[in-house]
Structure 1
């Protein structure tokens, strides 16, 4: 096949893959062995920027954008009038190796539309990973997007060659899925997730007895939900996430704002994409649940079904629960320290360590890096300076927003002076 045709396929199938955001790779520790190529150890690989500004990249493509389904929200749905293309298994293998050797990429994220049926498609995804591992001795990161409805046998084989597996549940609720993707069944998403969960558990148990047990999906599994296409509120979205985290031990849930890509009368008629701020608030809530010890019901419940777009979810919770404050940072446990707005987990651990040697005051907290413009309203320390205890939730919120606005305006003014 000509270079021009391969290049055309790559353009079509990489563009179609951009709507899938669930390709983080943290958690994999696949080392280079037997003088192979590639390595997925250490920080791993992702398609974005790391905290230190390092850009890491994956070859992110679809095997094909042909699809037998007609999901209203999907650009590759069968009724959409778009240019179609499909890679052969060997073409994807060759592209991955050639791109890696040219230092363009550090791994592969491979998804696909569904042609013929789930198993037919999944077989080809697995074949790509298997060839890379066994024939090319490739030890870089591989993320396979599992096909809903794929057999247990294929899901088991996929996990032996991929670092991470993911099944996109796509729509947060069963009713939404039925409306927008009537060809798909909720149980088809659950089945492969359950298989991966059980295989990971089995691998860990066997590893305790037999050290040479082959790795199985060392970076775990993830999923993605489209936000705003089927009208669910934030409570329903995070309720679904909470269920999957607890039931299937997911590493991540990704939230992808609905982008109006073409007209379909099943979809909400909105003129623009879901605000990025809503995605951000959902991710912040997700973070609080996974790393800060919050229960889902503390942040969202029947009384509070949508997140406040003006302020982050931790601050919103604190303002609704002022009876929990002020917190004495010199005596409070880790759980309560983590609930103070303005304190990240790094600051929490620094406080726990520092107070072993002396009582902490405001100056100490500034040096630690605590965002006092928020935290000062919710804690006390070895000083009475700046403490404010006679304010209502509304006044505190107003002061924090005013302070944030002033900082933004000052930053903007500094930039204008710099370039003007």
Structure 2
């Protein structure tokens, strides 16, 4: 193996980590550092940016421990047969990088993933050692996100959750059949079993004191997440969202991340030659938001083809298909009805409901409440406003459909 400097390893292994989208620090809590001995807080090369629920930008060192791998996943640039440059960090090197990056105020936490070396247990054991050393030896109080290897032993996953704020286990593909075709060493059943164990362990850590009077240790307090690759197989958007809905309901996931398939060097013959439109990934995130926060069901999102409209966001597309549900009176509509209005977010709806208790809400009030009136005005009635003919099908199509491209003469 070629001997590389730490800087060379960082360049290789930070670049290799860019394909993992399930990197975010939302939900992390500041660990107690009142003793003045702790490093880091969750409140160049290898640095990514994630956003907390309050909008703060949080910098993370995002790296692979190694891009060597014994697995042959067709969609992965680091698969065993791939001819990429390889590198591997030692446990001590990852700890050193994390601490030094923090001391220079470059980062507030660590996102660590890895290829599989020797065996899942050997790889997971090294990742756990990194997290434990940061916490116990270095006194690191920043955010730690570990990519969990589902086939690793229960004991190792249990210990990973003690030191990490968030664990993630990637389902990779939208269907079990696709996973079997593209990643034969991985098991959909094994992935779901690992997710279930993490959920049970998290629920147990939230219970009250045991009969001995001790409260169970915190376990992955920022929850667990997963990632699904979009466009590497023939799965439609409805299939992908159905899987996500099941994962949220069954395993209490904090997030499902969608990663548009990107053609890789030296690709497997089974993979498509072109990536899907990035807008498809964006529309899936929007649809995911509707499932989680707006009360939509999977069957309501997407057209008859099972694919999301790339030209119009899924909430507006639903409203265009259901003009009979509009206009909604902002002074009389229920919370559920208001959440269906394009241009109204959850905060806007909350402000409308609060304002209604003090008096009538007028059209000119809505902008200050956060409403996107360009989208909403065709679908609402408010004090001083009526959509009149805006709900007519022809006008709606003209309003929301993208403008046709201007053709050049030559």
Query: Do they fold alike, i.e. is TM over 0.5?
Result: yes
Once the two structures are superposed, residues 352-401 of structure 1 have per-residue CA deviations (whole angstroms, 9 ceiling, x without a partner) of 11111221222222333322222122111223444336602x53132233
State the 1:314 CA deviation.
0.4
- Partner Cα separation in structure 2 for residue 51 and residue 240 of structure 1: 24
Who is 1:378 aligned against? 379
Once the two structures are overlaid, the 10-residue window that deviates more, 247-256 or 7-16, is 7-16
Determine the structure 2 residue equivalent to 1:415.
Answer: none
Query: Which residue is 1:77 aligned to?
Result: 79
TM superposition score normalised by structure 1? 0.89
Deviation at 1:218, TM superposition (A): 0.4
1:399 equivalent in structure 2: 399
* Residues 62 and 110 in structure 1, CA contact (< 8 A), matched pair in contact too: yes
Quick one: distance in 2 between partners of 1:207 and 1:264? 53
Superposed structure 1 runs of 4+ greater than 6 Å apart: 50-53
1:200-227 deviations in Å (ceiling 9; x for gaps): 1111114698575321100000000111
The 5 A counterparts of 1:3-402 are 5-33=5-33, 34-42=35-43, 47-48=49-50, 55-206=57-208, 212-262=215-265, 263-270=267-274, 273-300=275-302, 303-388=304-389, 391-392=392-393, 394-401=394-401
What are the superposed Cα offsets for residues 314-364 of structure 1, whole Å, 9 maximum, x if unpaired? 011111112211111101111111110011111111111111122122222
CA distance in 1 between counterparts of 2:64 and 2:147 reads 9
**In 2, Cα distance between the equivalents of 1:206 and 1:40?**
27
Is contact 2:263–2:272 with CA below 8 Å preserved after alignment?
A: no
The answer on whether the counterparts of 1:380 and 1:387 sit within 8 Å (CA) in structure 2 is no
RMSD (Å) for aligned C-alpha atoms:
2.4
Contact between 2:323 and 2:391, CA under 8 Å: does it hold in 1?
Answer: no
Q: CA deviation at 1:32?
A: 3.4
Q: What runs of 5+ residues in structure 1 fail to find an aligned partner? A: 410-420
Kept after mapping to 1: 8 A contact 2:109/2:143:
yes
Distance 1:245 1:53, change over 3 A: closer
> Retained in 1: the 8 A contact 2:27–2:52?
no
The answer as to whether partners of 2:302 and 2:309 remain within 8 angstroms in 1 is no
Query: Corresponding residue for 1:413?
Result: none
CA contact (8 A) 1:36 1:139 kept: no
1:213–1:53 distance in 2 versus 1, CA, 3 Å: closer
- Aligned equivalents of 1:32 and 1:106: distance in 2? 15
Q: How many residues align?
A: 398
Measured after TM superposition, the shift of residue 39 of structure 1 is 4.1
Match of 1:58, SS state, is strand
* Structure-2 change in CA distance of 1:126 and 1:84 (3 Å): same
8 Å contact 2:224–2:253 — kept in the other structure?
A: yes
Whether the 8 Å contact between 2:48 and 2:61 is mirrored in structure 1 is no
Q: 1:311: how far off?
A: 0.5
* Unmatched tracts of structure 2, length 5 or more: none
Deviation at 1:304, TM superposition (A): 4.6
Determine helix, strand or coil for the equivalent of 1:205: coil
Residues 29, 194 of structure 1: CA spacing in aligned structure 2 closer, same or farther, 3 A cutoff?
Answer: same
Distance 1:163 1:207, change over 3 A: farther
Q: Distance in 2 between matches of 1:78 and 1:258?
A: 19
- TM-score with structure 2 setting the length: 0.91
Cα distance per residue 1:215-272 (max 9 Å; x no partner)? 11000000001110112110111111111000000000000000001232111222xx
Please give the alpha-carbon distance, in whole angstroms, between the structure 1 residues aligned to 2:6 and 2:283. Answer: 40
Q: Which range is displaced more, 291-300 or 328-337?
A: 291-300
Q: Deviations over 1:129-161 (max 9, x none)?
A: 011111111110000000121111111111000
CA contact (8 A) 1:151 1:192 kept: no
